[in-house]
Amino acid sequence: MKLVAGNSNRPLAGAIADYLKVPLARAQVRRFADMEIFVEIGENVRGEDTFIIQSTSSPTNDHLMELLIISDALRRASARRITAVIPYFGYARQDRKSAARTPISAKLVANLITHSGVDRVLTLDLHAGQIQGFFDIPTDNLFSAPVMVRDVKERLGGRQKVVVSPDVGGVVRARALAKRIDAPLAIVDKRRERPGESEVMNIIGDVAGLSCILVDDIVDSGGTLCNAADALLAQGASEVYAYITHGVLSGGAVTRIAKSRLKEMVITDSILPTEAVKVAHNIRVVSIAPLMGEAIGRTATESSVSSLFD
């Protein structure tokens, strides 16, 4: 197989290559003076099973274009199969028409990827599971749950725990983790009574005296997470942790998290951590390289990927 890395997350691509004991293919992904993207594959890929490792994280449009152009380069170089490995799939939150005359951008991006020549997609914790159906090619949506469960058991093994969904929409994800660590489930019900007023957060479930584990797929501004932590502590929780797959952390999110009452927030390296994330005292990064590497290896050998999560 051949592993080709874009510029979105080179350290993760290198870690995946180390796990698979396969060197990254020689490839140039650079800019012309006017910032157009230029790609050149520096070795023969004719008849090869190729994997492009590229998150479509910020700057989202640049990294998406890199993915499309790398795919086109590999297709024109006669690669046998092209798999787009997208640890973080950008535009996933635009998965439906939320109002009149608005786009479904996740479907548009799926079309772009498909028509660029990609034969298969491998991604992680899609914001909405139905996005798999937006692709007209095989799409594997991996789950970070095994990585999270292992970390929870190592760090919080002896404590009385409760898994908390920060909103009603994330209950399925939280329930899956709660089942794996044999813990009860609670839900943060947030509602805004009138426009312009702050959200009222009600806790469904018993959290008093327990270590709370907030579970979500994306943390962006961090506001909801910090407010949920305050609400849980007000209901008698002893401490609050957060386990999030994708640390988007835009704007002042890192500062907000650092000043919050969260004991610790754990994110994966699906998005390249910034320096601010690395030095934050209550943010920790765990690697998904072994998980992604194992899935890539199984895809290459036509083995079962779903059995990773049995």
Which of the residues are catalytic? Answer: 190
Contacts of 191 (CB under 8 A, 6+ apart): 199, 200, 202
Rounded to an integer, what distance in angstroms lies between the CA atom of residue 247 and that of residue 304?
Answer: 28
Q: How far apart are CA 143 and CA 145, in angstroms?
A: 5
Instruction: Evaluate the omega torsion of the peptide bond into residue 59 and state whether it is cis, within 30 degrees of 0.
Output: yes
Nearest to 255 by CA among 228, 231, 273, 281: 281
Cross-strand bridge partners of residue 124: 142
Question: What DSSP state is assigned to residue 219?
Answer: E
Question: Which residues are registered as beta bridge partners of 162?
Answer: 212
Q: Which residue has the tokens 């006017």?
A: 34
Instruction: Give the rounded distance of the alpha carbon of 38 from its chain centre.
Output: 27
The DSSP code for 116 is T
